[in-house]
Amino acid sequence: MEIGDLRHRIIIQKFTTVVNKNGFELEAWQDYKTVWASVSNLSGREYYQAAAIQAEKTVKFLIRHIDDMDTSMRIIFKDKPYNITSIDNRDYANKYLEIKALEVDIGG
């Protein structure tokens, strides 16, 4: 992996409870970290496995390792939200995380 491969900026968000100006608690997505990532579509066998379960809008993100990443978070890439479906610590080396995420269809 070369440093130029991580050329896209993504925002990782957590779903948290915040207090608004009136003192009421609201649940909302809060920015957690902004990181560099490699972004690619699924290809070959991965794509057909995703298509079998109607998850064709799955995208693969590769980022540097973050200790507390989990599937309750989401990713913002090019102003589109992606729900994280799986996180793989590549080769258990704690250097890179391969994240598969499904694009959220906001249009209803």
Domain coordinates of the chain in residue numbers?
3-18+27-103
| Alpha-carbon torsion angle 29, 74, 32, 98, nearest 10 | 180
Q: Please tell me the distance from the alpha carbon of residue 36 to that of residue 70, in angstroms, as a whole number.
A: 18
> What pLDDT score does 18 carry?
85
Q: Note the pLDDT tens digit of each residue in 46-102.
A: 555 655 555 568 899 999 999 999 999 999 999 999 999 999 998 899 999 999 999
Class of CATH domain 3-18+27-103: mainly beta
Beta bridge partners of 39: 61
Query: Are 62 and 87 a contacting pair, CB within 8 Å?
Result: no
Q: What is the pTM of this model?
A: 0.81
> What tokens were used for 106?
């906001």
> What pLDDT score does 36 carry?
96
Q: What letter does residue 94 receive in the DSSP assignment? A: S
Quick check: 45 pLDDT over 90? no
Q: Note the pLDDT tens digit of each residue in 2-43.
A: 667 899 999 999 999 988 899 999 999 999 999 999 998 876
> What pLDDT score does 80 carry?
94
